Amino acid sequence: MKEMLTFSAELTADASERTISGKIVPFNGEVGNTSAGAVVFERGAINIADSSKVKLLLEHDPKQPIGRAQFFNETEDGIFASFKISQSSRGSDALIEASEELRTGLSVGVMVNAAKPKNGVLYVSSADLLEVSLVQAAAFKSAAVTDIAASEDEVAEPTQPTESETVVEETTAVEATPTVEAAAVEAARPAVTAMAYTKPRSPITTGGSYLEHTIKAKLGNEDSRQYVLAADDSFTTNPAFSPVSYVRDVATNTTANRPVIEACGGSRPLSTYGMTVSIPKITANSTAATVAEGGDPTGTTAITSSYVNATVIKKMGFQRYSVELLDRSDPSFYEIMLANLRDAYAQATDAYVIAQITAGGTQATATAADSAGLISFVSTESPAVYNATKRTATAFVSGTSIWSTLLGATDTTGRPIYNAQPTTMNAGGTANPTSIRGNVLGLDYYVDPNMVSTSIDESAFIIEPRSIEIFESPALTLATNVPTTGEIEISLYGYIAAQAVFAGGLRRFNLT
């Protein structure tokens, strides 16, 4: 179990040079009461890799830097430091608050490398300094602000109070073992607020980071559980961005595009229960006839109907990876993994709808797979759609081979028909090598890499969208442990049901 330790020290400030100084860590066995219990720093325990890069923050909030370290001095009593305060309004407010004893503590944030418990006290023997913060109160009595330096013309009042927040890092629980694993320790006494609550400061800013902390929460990480509880699941108010780019170039041939489903008008929400969707369909329309005054209308035909059933199926993909990959991978791994799973799901559902059109559509009149044949396909099957459904076709969808034929189509003078600027002779539509959308003889054109890639039967469809019903659930994710290996499995799955309801509105290319 990992837990946060908090402690701090007192400070001083100088009003003429915009500096804040004080003891940041006491030695000589002084005990600090932290969120994890009593803690003592042994002399020489704090490692400072580069003092010039250590920032002074406000209440351990990385979004509120107010200064930078000038020097550190380690003595037998502890570590003393001085910080140059920025000219920002936040820095000026911090100087005023320190001089008026509103914020009187200097608090360190460290990563513990080694520590031992003894008589209920955790003795830290090695830790790396991450940052120092100006805080409201000191947990170590001897660790406080000792000097404040601000310019004489600084008289502005603080612009806005800042609540103390403690970033919780993971650390091993204190047990009767000789060594404690590395843990994050931030030196700030927890603020007691009985009348208000604010959400924890969360690292969840993308779908991948949300998935990462969902997994860690299920593995028992309390910090990640709090982050997930506080996350805005829709990400509408928490837009996906990262101040530091961790994206790595990854070669992939997957795509989340679903051209056939898009050409069919997209999917409708699937009910939350049942494995069959019953779609009512009128099988015989009513007829109207001339009836004499007072005559019998029974000679006309009444409406008849039935149900067309669509079976709900599940599409699912998974990724298994080691705990080491979970702990040590670049953060971009989660984004790439989730994107790849989503791409696979999109391709599987699109291929499923293609299969439904193939099974439930009408085979077109046979024609060649050349320019004249494709013109014949559109000019023959579009009226057939209207005749069968009383609605006009809107989409022409094909695989890459038919796309190639359209790109190479020329008129009698050798000029390209579908990928040139329209003229009086070249106005058949648009199909470009740089675009997977276009127009062919008045129909919206879609190129679908999930269809067959050669010019054979079913390599192109003409679609009237209401001739097929598609129902789909949201895509969900699951995380599970593999007990024998300690591996983690992530599954992304969803439910979909598709069914052709008017075969005549779905025309399938038929090669001569």
Q: What's the 3-state SS for 258-308? A: CHHHHHCCCCEECCCCCCEEEEEEEEECCCCCCCCCCCCHHHCCCCEEEEE
Identify whether residues 231 and 314 lie together within a single domain.
no
pLDDT score of 294: 82
Identify whether residues 45 and 175 lie together within a single domain.
yes
| pLDDT tens-digit readout, 373-412 | 999 999 999 999 999 999 999 999 999 999 999 988 888 7
Of 63-77, 108-122, 195-209, 442-456, give the lowest mean pLDDT range: 195-209
pLDDT-based confidence at 467, cuts 50/70/90? very high
Residues 111-120, mean pLDDT to the nearest whole number: 84
Identify whether residues 139 and 225 lie together within a single domain.
no
Does residue 211 have a pLDDT over 60? yes
Instruction: Establish if 297 belongs to a structural domain.
Output: no
Identify whether residues 228 and 369 lie together within a single domain.
no
pLDDT-based confidence at 443, cuts 50/70/90? very high
With CA atoms as reference, report the closest residue to 113 among 123, 125, 105, 121.
Answer: 125
Region of 52 (left: φ > 0; alpha: ψ -120 to 50; beta: rest) is: alpha
Instruction: Establish if 5 belongs to a structural domain.
Output: no
Residues 85-114, mean pLDDT to the nearest whole number: 85
Residues 253-267, mean pLDDT to the nearest whole number: 88
Which residue type is seen at 275?
M
Instruction: Establish if 362 belongs to a structural domain.
Output: yes
Identify whether residues 106 and 225 lie together within a single domain.
no
Rounded distance, CA 450 to CA 257, Å? Answer: 10
Identify whether residues 394 and 493 lie together within a single domain.
yes
Of 187-201, 223-237, 305-319, 356-370, give the lowest mean pLDDT range: 187-201
Identify whether residues 21 and 78 lie together within a single domain.
yes
3-state secondary structure of 197: coil
Rounded distance, CA 115 to CA 125, Å? Answer: 5
Structure tokens at 188: 């700030």
Rounded distance, CA 151 to CA 91, Å? Answer: 12
Identify whether residues 309 and 339 lie together within a single domain.
yes
Of the residues 186, 219, 236, which one is the last residue of a structural domain? 186
Instruction: Establish if 42 belongs to a structural domain.
Output: yes
Does residue 156 have a pLDDT over 80? no
Identify whether residues 117 and 261 lie together within a single domain.
no
Does residue 135 have a pLDDT over 70? yes
Instruction: Give the DSSP H or E segment for 400.
Output: helix 400-408
- Give me the number of domains the chain comprises: 3
Instruction: Establish if 421 belongs to a structural domain.
Output: yes
Range of the domain at 23: 10-186
The whole-model pTM stands at: 0.53
pLDDT-based confidence at 235, cuts 50/70/90? very low
Q: Are 357 and 508 in contact (CB under 8 A)?
A: yes
Identify whether residues 86 and 60 lie together within a single domain.
yes
Rounded distance, CA 462 to CA 470, Å? Answer: 17
Structure tokens at 57: 């923050």
Beta bridge partner(s), residue 9: 106
Instruction: Establish if 230 belongs to a structural domain.
Output: yes
Beta bridge partner(s), residue 135: 105
Identify whether residues 259 and 239 lie together within a single domain.
no
Q: Which residue has better confidence, 232 or 88?
A: 88
Q: Are 498 and 489 in contact (CB under 8 A)?
A: no
Identify whether residues 367 and 266 lie together within a single domain.
yes
Q: How far is CA 359 from CA 329, 352, 452, in A?
A: 45, 11, 15
Does residue 77 have a pLDDT over 70? yes
Q: For 216, list phi and psi in degrees, rounded to 5.
A: -65, -35
